[in-house]
């Protein structure tokens, strides 16, 4: 009904859609053949070393560099560094049955949905809505292809979101051009000094209560409509259809698309973006807000796995950086996320200098250059106070108060 109202030749639309789907499916399966997910642990570690280098050799190199710089590690520290590098290699387990076969089942599901849609095509033309039905096989195939590529990277120890690995260059370039069409348009970046050039990062998506409410509504509503539609498709028996209840389910299939678009829009419009002298905060359904770093009332560094922690002893990925602004809004970021390099540099400047940096001052900008390298170490040593230390200070303050009074 929806496409027919546009005056399109419906028979030709069905043929073009079917041919386009199989071309897209063939392109995805071609990557599966050229870059198969199946790999054992030993081979996966060799692939990782060939691409990223040996973490053990890298650890030994750093130990030698520290020794040459006059700051050698103790034998115990050297052993710990080597063990950590070995553990990184041992964590590469290769592929699993779930990884190998799961996405192929999705490919099979996409083929079945295509077949069922082809059989029910004219029923949906006259009784339902055709556009969601024609899009669904492409969506499922895209999901299967993405799952397969993430599995390929995970099996070999790579970053699962690094699209430059596990696909031909022509695919990578095409995906980047397509993603640019949907990528949020960022404010124009002014290049001032090297710290501004080398530390440009993408915004950090922020999740709040509004997102949780939206997802809590979107997931069950979309899931119900999708199950209703797939249940109707399962009634296809070779070239016949047992009942004619595909009309309403095909119309309700708009719900998952609308909900997915709304969730995606809420995610890309709610973010924090750190630059040299400003923090931009995107807000869902509200205009973006811009802060100066001087608008930060307080911040601290802490490990999520416990307050009584030695900063020199634990894994860096477990540390958090929490910031509270003057309007009482606050956010917690991963301490070692490169997207908060500007925040870390300004916070380290504040901790050591006792004031916020003036980005218009050449002297302050030169100091910030240093904190882009040493900022995290400064924040760990000056911006983190273990619970026991805070407790001791609080007890001393109470004791002094009682003595005076």
Residue 398 lies in a domain: no
Answer whether residue 83 shows pLDDT above 90: no
Q: 141 and 10 share a domain? A: yes
* Under 8 Å between Cβ of 389 and 397: no
E-assigned strand segments in 70-229: 204-205
Residue 71 lies in a domain: yes
| Average pLDDT of the residues of the chain | 80
Secondary-structure percent of the chain, ordered helix, strand, coil, rounded to 5: 60, 10, 25
Partners of residue 290 on adjacent β-strands: 280
Q: Report residue 57 as tokens.
A: 């050799």
Answer whether residue 403 shows pLDDT above 60: no
Answer whether residue 312 shows pLDDT above 60: no
Residue 143 lies in a domain: yes
pLDDT, tens only, 364-378: 888 888 888 788 888
Residue, of 119 and 315, whose pLDDT is higher = 119
Residue 237 lies in a domain: yes
CA angle 201, 207, 213 (to 5 degrees): 155
pLDDT, tens only, 185-200: 443 333 333 444 444 4
Q: Is 296 helix (H, G, I), strand (E, B) or coil?
A: strand
* Under 8 Å between Cβ of 335 and 318: no
DSSP 94: -
Confidence at 174, pLDDT banded by 50, 70, 90? confident
Q: What are phi and psi of 188, to 5 degrees?
A: -65, 130
Q: 216 and 281 share a domain? A: no
Q: What are phi and psi of 203, to 5 degrees?
A: -60, 160
* Under 8 Å between Cβ of 318 and 302: no
Least confident of 128-142, 207-221, 234-248, 360-374: 234-248
Residue 201 lies in a domain: no
Q: Report residue 375 as tokens.
A: 């900022």
Q: 264 and 280 share a domain? A: no
Q: What is the model's pLDDT at position 133?
A: 92
Q: 246 and 163 share a domain? A: yes
Mean pLDDT of 283-290: 84
> How many whole angstroms separate alpha carbon 234 and alpha carbon 119?
12
> How many whole angstroms separate alpha carbon 112 and alpha carbon 122?
17
Give the domain-ending residue among 268, 294, 315. Answer: 268
Residue, of 34 and 8, whose pLDDT is higher = 34
Confidence at 135, pLDDT banded by 50, 70, 90? very high
Give the domain-ending residue among 245, 268, 291. Answer: 268
Pinpoint the alpha helices (H) of 53-96. 55-68, 75-90
Domain total of the chain: 3
Q: What is the model's pLDDT at position 110?
A: 95
Q: 224 and 279 share a domain? A: no
> How many whole angstroms separate alpha carbon 137 and alpha carbon 133?
8
Q: Residue 274 region, left (φ>0) first, then alpha (ψ -120 to 50), else beta?
A: beta
Q: 263 and 318 share a domain? A: no
Answer whether residue 401 shows pLDDT above 50: no
Confidence at 202, pLDDT banded by 50, 70, 90? low
Q: 143 and 248 share a domain? A: yes
Q: 324 and 294 share a domain? A: yes
Residue 399 lies in a domain: no
Residue, of 214 and 179, whose pLDDT is higher = 214
**Beta strands at 296-303 and 319-325: parallel, antiparallel or unpaired:** antiparallel
Residue 189 lies in a domain: no
Answer whether residue 346 shows pLDDT above 70: yes
Q: 237 and 286 share a domain? A: no
Mean pLDDT of 166-170: 84
Mean pLDDT of 313-318: 60
Least confident of 167-176, 340-349, 393-402: 393-402
Give the domain-ending residue among 268, 298, 313. Answer: 268
Q: What is the model's pLDDT at position 309?
A: 58
Q: What are phi and psi of 273, to 5 degrees?
A: -130, 115
Q: 45 and 70 share a domain? A: yes
Q: 64 and 80 share a domain? A: yes
pLDDT, tens only, 220-267: 999 999 999 998 888 776 555 555 578 889 899 999 999 999 988 888
Domain that includes residue 336, residue range: 274-392
Residue 339 lies in a domain: yes
Q: 289 and 226 share a domain? A: no
């Amino acid at each position: 009904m929806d496409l027919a109202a546009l005056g399109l030749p419906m028979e030709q639309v069905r043929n073009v859609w079917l041919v386009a789907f199989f071309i897209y499916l063939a392109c995805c399966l071609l990557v599966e053949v050229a870059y198969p997910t199946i790999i054992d642990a030993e081979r996966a570690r060799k692939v990782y070393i060939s691409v990223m280098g040996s973490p053990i050799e890298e650890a030994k190199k750093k130990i030698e560099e520290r020794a040459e710089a006059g700051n050698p590690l103790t034998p115990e520290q050297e052993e710990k560094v080597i063990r950590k590098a070995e553990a990184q290699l041992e964590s590469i387990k290769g592929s699993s049955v779930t990884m190998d076969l799961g996405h192929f089942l999705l490919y099979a599901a996409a083929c079945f949905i295509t077949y069922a849609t082809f059989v029910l095509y004219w029923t949906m033309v006259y009784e339902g809505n055709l556009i969601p039905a024609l899009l669904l096989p492409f969506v499922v195939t895209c999901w299967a292809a993405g799952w397969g590529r993430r599995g390929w990277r995970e099996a070999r120890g790579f970053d699962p979101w690094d699209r430059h690995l596990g696909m031909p260059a022509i695919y990578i370039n095409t995906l980047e051009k397509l993603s640019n069409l949907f990528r949020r348009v960022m404010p124009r970046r002014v290049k001032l000094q090297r710290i501004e050039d080398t530390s440009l990062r993408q915004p950090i998506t922020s999740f709040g209560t509004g997102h949780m409410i939206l997802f809590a509504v979107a997931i069950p509503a979309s899931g119900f409509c999708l199950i209703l539609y797939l249940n109707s498709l399962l009634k296809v028996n070779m070239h016949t259809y047992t009942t004619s209840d595909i009309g309403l389910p095909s119309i309700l299939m708009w719900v998952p698309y609308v909900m997915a678009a709304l969730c995606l829009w809420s995610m890309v419009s709610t973010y924090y973006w750190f630059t040299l002298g400003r923090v931009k905060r995107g807000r869902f359904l509200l205009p973006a807000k811009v802060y100066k770093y001087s608008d930060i009332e307080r911040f601290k560094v802490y490990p999520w796995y416990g307050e009584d922690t030695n900063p020199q002893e634990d894994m860096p990925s477990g540390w958090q950086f929490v910031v509270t602004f003057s309007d009482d809004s606050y956010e917690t970021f991963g301490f070692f996320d490169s997207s908060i390099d500007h925040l870390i540099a300004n916070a380290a400047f504040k901790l050591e200098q006792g004031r916020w940096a003036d980005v218009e001052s050449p002297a302050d900008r030169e100091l910030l250059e240093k904190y882009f390298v040493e900022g995290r170490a400064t924040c760990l040593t000056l911006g983190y106070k273990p619970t026991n230390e805070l407790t001791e200070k609080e007890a001393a303050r109470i004791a002094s108060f009682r003595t005076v009074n």
